[in-house]
Chain A
Amino acid sequence: MKISKTLAAALLLGLVAGCDAPQGQQSPSASAQQAIEQADASYQQSSAAGHAWSQTKVRLQAARAAFAAEDYDAALAEAERARALADASLAQAQAEQTAWQDRFPVARSPSK
């Protein structure tokens, strides 16, 4: 069923977003910077698909504000949140490519 595919995709993307944050080597500021860029790229994609979510932008802005205030842990956390939202909205855009077709009523009586 399409619904469960959406769910799986959203979950998977969520997990990926959570796990691929760079570990160890980078400075906190570089990690945060990279996370913001990745989140923004995903957000831009969702926006181009007409599926941007309001909260994604809110989180991105929070990440940038935290970065500007040199609170890199908070910036990273907000950026990851933004990325997860953007990825989920992209999954929605993907699933809706065909799923929308089932939602409008179809005439039951034979046409006249």
Chain B
Amino acid sequence: MLRTTLLAALLAGSLGVILAHPASAQATADPETDRRALREFYANRFPQVDLADHKDGVYAIDAGAREQWLEMEDFPPYEIAVDEGAELFAAPFANGQGYDHCFADDGAVKQNYPYFDEQRGEVITLELAINDCRSAHGEAPLPYDGQELATLAAYMAFASRGNPVAVDAPASDAARAAYAAGKRFYSTRRGQLNFACTSCHIQLVGNRLRAERLSASLGHVTHWPVYRFKWEEVGGLHKRFAECNSQVGAEPFPEQSDEYRNLEYFLSYLSNGLELNGPATRK
């Protein structure tokens, strides 16, 4: 028993040494400074990659994987979800109104999500807004881990394709606190493997973890929901967050929890300016 603990602690310690990054404390940096720093970091790390191409995630930095991905994107399995989502989006509620009463431009609004709602004092993601819309029209909310919500979001992502991410900068102390909470979550080591999000996506980015190429944080939010071949269906960003947490031996948080919404807010601001290209396929 003790030996396992010791081994885990030693492993954690040695990984810590490898991953330590020579940056100074950045707890209080403002979002625009963070965004600039992140872009500069990846520009130096991947000088051959145009920053705008990070919208393609890992396929911006792995030519071999990109070829197969493009082949898949030629007629991708998520098109079925986009079609179904379009029908769901167009179907009227019991009161005769529909989603288009809540979302402008036939749902092509993903670029503005998430945002910080000053009245409610919390981050509103697209998924939350969909359920708010349902509640406002007397419909029961959809489960956050279900296919109907993911399918609707897939349609809205498709409708929003090509629009650049345009998440508003935090404008109040409460909003800045939500952003900071997201940044802290992203940078905090969790789980028995003692990994932070930054361990893989900043410190070790571009390297391989077993057979997988580690992707850049820039562009992490542009392509959701994703048809993941491992899931064999479309799923949202928070489902992936939960998976990342589980993979490092940490108990995941629920989809649309405060933790994950703040994280999405932080990550989305960093990707401001990148083109949306969701939904997409991932392995």
Contacts and interface: CB of A to CB of B under 8 A. Distances in A.
B2 A101 contact: no
A101 B59 CA distance: 29
Interface string A1-43: 0011011001100110110000000000000000000000000
B12 A10 contact: yes
Contact of B198 (A6, A10, A103, A111): A103
Contacts of A90: none
A7 B250 contact: no
B92 interface: no
Contacts of B17: 3
Interface string A79-102: 011001100110010011001111
Contacts, number: 128
B95 interface: no
A51 interface: yes
A14 B40 contact: no
Contacts of B163: none
A101 B41 contact: no
Interface of B: 1-2, 4-6, 8-10, 12-13, 16-17, 20-21, 23-27, 29, 33-34, 36-38, 40-41, 183-184, 186-192, 194, 196, 198-199, 202-203, 246, 249-251, 253, 259
A18 B251 contact: no
Given A11-B6, A105-B40, A106-B29, 14 more contacts: A14-B5, A47-B251, A50-B253, A54-B249, A81-B1, A92-B189, A96-B188, A100-B189, A102-B20, A103-B21, A103-B23, A104-B26, A106-B24, A108-B40
A83 to B, nearest CB: 9
B2 A53 contact: no
A96 B187 CA distance: 9
B254 to A, nearest CB: 12
Q: Which 5 A-B pairs have the closest CB atoms?
A: A105-B41, A14-B5, A10-B9, A107-B37, A7-B13
A109 to B, nearest CB: 6
B33 A111 contact: yes
Given A84-B2, A101-B187, A92 B194 contact: yes
Contact of A10 (B5, B20, B29, B259): B5
- Chain A interface size range: 35 or more
B191 A53 contact: yes
Interface string A49-91: 0111111010000000000000000000100110011001100
Contacts of B202: 103-105
Contacts of B259: 50
Nearest to B5: A14
Contacts of B12: 6-7, 10, 92
B34 A104 contact: yes
Contacts of A84: 1-2, 4-5
B2 A15 contact: yes
Contacts of A85: 5, 192
Contact of B5 (A51, A88, A107): A88
A18 B2 contact: yes
A73 B13 CA distance: 32
11 contacts: A7-B12, A11-B9, A15-B2, A102-B24, A102-B25, A103-B198, A103-B202, A103-B203, A106-B24, A106-B29, A108-B40
Contacts of B5: 10-11, 14, 17, 84-85, 88
A10 B41 CA distance: 33
Nearest to B246: A54
A59 B251 CA distance: 14
B2 A104 contact: no
A32 B26 CA distance: 45
